[in-house]
């Protein structure tokens, strides 16, 4: 990190002057990720020129670190031969991700020029649905036959390493590609030369299916601390591997989606500034509209109780306090439970445990806020009955918020939906009506005596 900052002035100067040759010298010592970060400010045309001047393999390594949209934009400024070269050098999963970003017409015009092996690979990987293990995996894994000696395996490794994304796990397969076991490079290096792979490999390795959702894959990585996980088809044949860096990207992406949903935004799928303005406005507008229409009920409730508060206008002063207190406690519960479900601290079978805990906690927090609310009401010289109504309504609404915020995500999960689609604003809206109904019913009861 410090390295890239030290180079920053030199780099910006060279870029401004268009001095590509001295850029190459500066970039020589920089990590491809740092270079890619420095390039993000430039036009795709400039980036294309720099990728070209960096040559193979540095140019490819930098290109790989650019985000997909930038990669696609850069390609439009490169010739067909250069494009084909880059596509062939990319790892199979990155290659397919990029091809998915390009117009179909462009892909059709590029495919015939790619080598047969890469072309077949692209066709195979393109068929897997988005967000599946198949779409995430690379086909460049290192495999070994079971009856080989350690010495022979080490020799073979030199041959297959250049075309393998990782050689730290070696996959032992039979001739039909059925996965028999796994041996790590660590184990291989430490074994005796004469030992047979079959005898030292781990059997019955943990695998994921090519159809599995990427979220499940990410969870497997968080749980098992693997560097890579093998992907098998229905016949238990090895079809690819997913490496931890791709799983890490999924974890970060899923987290982003959860935060956006919690804030009532349909997930963006792209970085904030790259999301089209109209698309973002639509995504937000839709949720705002839904919440707005739901909130109509609160308005209706307020209208329904007009007689109650028209006689004691001071009641109205406390409406925002009551609504926001319910929304806030609901927001707390929904965040706690959604995150608990995401990391596995809370499970569906804990439903009643959660309900009990949130109910008791909600009552305690509600009584606490209710007490303070009563003091506030008293300080505004409200009649005793209004003070009591405010106190009871606050206690009720905070309890309801806590309970509803905890139950809604669990119920969603129960019916097989993603609990994370339950946003905090939705819970708040749900609680608002409850708050108004409690408040004015209590007030009606107390003020009529």
Query: Does residue 280 interact with a copy of itself by CB under 8 A?
Result: yes
Query: Does residue 255 interact with a copy of itself by CB under 8 A?
Result: yes
Among 83, 138, 298, 389, interactor with a copy of itself by CB under 8 A: 298
Nearer to a copy of itself, 66 or 84 (CB): 66
Distance from the first to the final alpha carbon of the chain: 71
| Region from 95-103, 121-129, 234-242, 425-433 binding a copy of itself, contact rule CB under 8 A | 425-433
| Region from 8-16, 49-57, 127-135, 424-432 binding a copy of itself, contact rule CB under 8 A | 424-432
Query: Does residue 206 interact with a copy of itself by CB under 8 A?
Result: yes
Compute the distance between CA of residue 409 and CA of residue 402 in angstroms, rounded to an integer.
12
Query: Does residue 334 interact with a copy of itself by CB under 8 A?
Result: yes
CB of 336 to a copy of itself, least distance (A): 6
Query: Does residue 327 interact with a copy of itself by CB under 8 A?
Result: yes
Query: Does residue 343 interact with a copy of itself by CB under 8 A?
Result: yes
Query: Does residue 237 interact with a copy of itself by CB under 8 A?
Result: no
Query: Does residue 299 interact with a copy of itself by CB under 8 A?
Result: yes
Nearer to a copy of itself, 27 or 221 (CB): 221
Among 208, 231, 400, 438, interactor with a copy of itself by CB under 8 A: 208
Over the window 2 to 41, marking each residue x when it contacts a copy of itself by CB under 8 A and - when it does not, the resulting string is -x-------------------------x-x-x---x----
CB of 195 to a copy of itself, least distance (A): 14
CB of 202 to a copy of itself, least distance (A): 10
Compute the distance between CA of residue 155 and CA of residue 130 in angstroms, rounded to an integer.
38
Among 107, 185, 196, 355, interactor with a copy of itself by CB under 8 A: 185
Query: Does residue 331 interact with a copy of itself by CB under 8 A?
Result: yes
Among 63, 128, 171, 287, interactor with a copy of itself by CB under 8 A: 287
Query: Does residue 376 interact with a copy of itself by CB under 8 A?
Result: yes
Nearer to a copy of itself, 13 or 306 (CB): 306
**Are 61 and 86 within 8 A, CB to CB?**
no
Restricting to residues 103-162, name those near a copy of itself by CB under 8 A.
154, 157-158, 161
Among 117, 281, 311, 348, interactor with a copy of itself by CB under 8 A: 281
Query: Does residue 295 interact with a copy of itself by CB under 8 A?
Result: yes
Nearer to a copy of itself, 82 or 213 (CB): 213
Query: Does residue 271 interact with a copy of itself by CB under 8 A?
Result: yes
CB of 205 to a copy of itself, least distance (A): 9
Count of alpha carbons within 13 angstroms of residue 1, beta-carbon side: 0
79 burial class (0-12, 13-18, 19+ CB within 10 angstroms)? exposed
Query: Does residue 338 interact with a copy of itself by CB under 8 A?
Result: yes
Over the window 210 to 229, marking each residue x when it contacts a copy of itself by CB under 8 A and - when it does not, the resulting string is ------x---xxxxxx-x--
Query: Does residue 256 interact with a copy of itself by CB under 8 A?
Result: yes
The bridge status of strand 202-203 relative to strand 238-243 is unpaired
Query: Does residue 277 interact with a copy of itself by CB under 8 A?
Result: yes
Supply 215's token pair.
């979220």
């Amino acid at each position: 990190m410090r390295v890239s900052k030290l180079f920053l002035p030199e780099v910006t100067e060279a870029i401004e002057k268009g001095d590509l040759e001295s850029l190459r010298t500066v970039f020589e010592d920089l990590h491809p990720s740092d270079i890619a970060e420095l390039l993000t400010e430039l036009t795709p045309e400039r980036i294309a020129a720099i990728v070209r001047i960096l040559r193979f393999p540095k140019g490819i390594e930098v290109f790989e670190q650019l985000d997909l949209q930038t990669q696609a934009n850069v390609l439009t400024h490169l010739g067909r031969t250069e494009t084909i070269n880059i596509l062939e050098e990319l790892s199979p999963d990155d290659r397919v991700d990029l091809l998915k970003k390009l117009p179909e017409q462009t892909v059709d015009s590029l495919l015939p020029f790619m080598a047969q092996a890469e072309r077949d690979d692209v066709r195979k990987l393109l068929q897997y649905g988005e967000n599946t293990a198949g779409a995430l995996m690379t086909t460049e894994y290192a495999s070994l036959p079971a009856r080989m000696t350690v010495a022979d395996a080490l020799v073979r490794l030199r041959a297959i390493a250049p075309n393998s994304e990782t050689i730290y796990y070696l996959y032992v397969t039979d001739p039909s590609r059925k996965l028999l076991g796994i041996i790590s490079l660590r184990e291989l290096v430490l074994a005796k030369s004469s030992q047979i792979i079959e005898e030292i490999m781990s059997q019955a390795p943990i695998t994921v299916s090519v159809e599995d959702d990427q979220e499940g894959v990410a969870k497997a990585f968080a749980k098992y601390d693997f560097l890579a996980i093998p992907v098998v088809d229905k016949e238990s044949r090895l079809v690819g591997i997913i490496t931890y860096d791709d799983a890490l990207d999924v974890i970060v992406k899923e987290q982003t989606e959860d935060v956006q949903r919690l804030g009532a935004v349909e997930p963006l799928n792209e970085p904030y500034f790259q999301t089209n303005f109209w698309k973002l406005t639509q995504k937000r507008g839709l949720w705002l509209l839904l919440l707005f229409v739901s909130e109509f009920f609160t308005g209706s409730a307020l209208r329904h109780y007009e007689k109650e508060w028209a006689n004691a206008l001071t009641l109205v002063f406390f409406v925002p306090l009551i609504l926001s207190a319910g929304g806030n406690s609901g927001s707390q519960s929904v965040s706690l439970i959604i995150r608990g479900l995401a990391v596995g601290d809370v499970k569906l079978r804990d439903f009643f445990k959660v309900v009990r805990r949130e109910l008791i906690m909600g009552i305690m927090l509600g009584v606490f806020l209710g007490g303070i609310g009563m003091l506030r009401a008293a300080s505004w010289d409200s009649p005793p009955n209004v003070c009591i109504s405010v106190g009871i309504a606050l206690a009720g609404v905070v309890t309801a918020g806590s309970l509803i915020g905890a139950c809604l995500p669990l119920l969603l999960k129960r019916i097989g939906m993603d609990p994370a689609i339950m946003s905090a604003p939705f819970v708040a809206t749900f609680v608002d009506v409850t708050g108004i109904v409690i408040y004015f019913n209590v007030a009606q009861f107390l003020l009529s005596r």
